[in-house]
Amino acid sequence: MCYTNHALDQFLEDLLDIGIQPESLVRLGGKSTLRTKPLGVFEQSTTFKHSKASWRVIEGLRSELDHLKDRLRDAFARYQSAIVQKEHLMQYLEFPPEDPGFNAALTVPEASDGMTHIGKRGKAVNRFYLLDRWSQGMDAGIFKKHIPKASHRIWRLDMPARHVKLANWRLEILKERASDFHLIIQEYNNCLSRLDRMFNEKNAHIIKSKRIVGCTTTAAAMYVKELQAASPDVLLVEEAGEILESHIITALGCRTKQLILIGDHKRMRNKKWRNILLLVLKPFFCKRPQVKEKLQRGRSVHGNRHCTKGEERFQLPASTT
């Protein structure tokens, strides 16, 4: 495993130079040279074939993905509209997570004799009559004498308190829509991952059949399942001074017996700590190229002829005050 594609290609070319057959090698990674391109996992020929049962599973997953795509479009359209209508508010108040009294206070009572309630100017009262009046800071109108005592406290709320309640209800409805959208996304991703694993069985078969597997740290993260299935006995890491421990752990298998690290931890400082060092020294305007130039001229910052990274000192600029 190497940090860069260049180092990986150089390593594989050296293996070819000493007589190792290309049939024993496979390369996992992005850019490659003309010589190492035939070693890519997608360039390998294999006799692996999916069984009929596997194809039935694949077709089932594809059908499920199509169904989830439609659900995603609908859920995203509902969330994107971001318009909470009166009907949505009344549906939310039927099963509110807080005070259930609002549903009884804002629901228009049905006439027991089958008659229709008439408001001002002889117009029929719709189901949002009480919600509209409550939202506008008014009383219950024609139902003022029919409001149950338990709902009087709701109608006594002032206008700012009513606005706060309405805003909270709209926010909770939007949260429910976002939660539904998120759950469908998770289902879609899980289904897609299962389908990818089915198709990656071919790559896992190729990797497992090879004697030597060469990869970059990025490829090790992409093919982690396949590498775990192959579980190599020996893991050799080039440019180990620049690779984080988490990347190395990714390539370790349950049958790995030996780990070989190649790299100068002083000459090739880990990029994570190098970035932290640059952030720390940024206020002092101390740039690494300045230090590198001084070392190339044969003298370190603190005056010695030679030094290593462990002994290196950084020179701060002279004070301007």
* 3-state class (DSSP) for residue 35: coil
Question: Token pair of 214, please?
Answer: 């060469």
Lookup result for tokens 């190492």? 36
Summarize the confidence of residues 170-189 as an average pLDDT: 85
d(CA 170, CA 88): 9
For the chain, what percentages of helix, strand and coil (3-state, to nearest 5) are there?
60, 5, 35
Which CA distances in Å does 299 have to 208, 269, 302, 313? 51, 20, 8, 12
Which CA distances in Å does 141 have to 154, 160, 166, 259? 14, 20, 20, 81
Each residue's pLDDT tens digit, 45-63: 777 787 888 888 888 989 9
* 3-state class (DSSP) for residue 213: strand
Using the predicted structure, report yes or no on whether residue 86 has a pLDDT greater than 50.
yes
Instruction: Compute φ and ψ for 255, nearest 5 degrees.
Output: -105, 10
d(CA 69, CA 58): 16
Instruction: Compute φ and ψ for 254, nearest 5 degrees.
Output: -70, -20
Dihedral class, residue 59 (left if φ above 0, else alpha if ψ from -120 to 50, else beta): alpha
Over the Cα atoms of the chain, what is R_g?
Answer: 34
Question: Token pair of 189, please?
Answer: 């991703």
Q: What is the largest CA-CA distance in the chain?
A: 105
Question: Token pair of 233, please?
Answer: 């006995």
Interaxial angle between packed helices 52-81 and 159-199, expressed in degrees from 0 to 180 and rounded to the nearest 10: 160
CA–centroid distance for 316 within its chain:
41
Dihedral class, residue 270 (left if φ above 0, else alpha if ψ from -120 to 50, else beta): beta
Task: Spell out the domain ranges in the chain.
Answer: 5-45+200-261, 81-193, 271-311
Using the predicted structure, report yes or no on whether residue 222 has a pLDDT greater than 80.
yes
- pTM here? 0.48
d(CA 191, CA 68): 9
Using the predicted structure, report yes or no on whether residue 292 has a pLDDT greater than 60.
no
Range of weakest confidence among 36-50, 208-222, 296-310: 296-310
Using the predicted structure, report yes or no on whether residue 317 has a pLDDT greater than 70.
no
pLDDT band for 3, please (50, 70, 90 cuts). confident
pLDDT, greater one: 64 or 90: 64
d(CA 153, CA 168): 18
Question: Token pair of 149, please?
Answer: 């005592």
Which CA distances in Å does 62 have to 192, 199, 236? 9, 12, 39
Give per-residue burial for 25-37: e unless 16+ CB within 10 Å, then b: bbbbbeebeeebe
Summarize the confidence of residues 5-20 as an average pLDDT: 91
Report DSSP state, residue 34: T
Q: What percent of the chain has pLDDT over 70?
A: 76
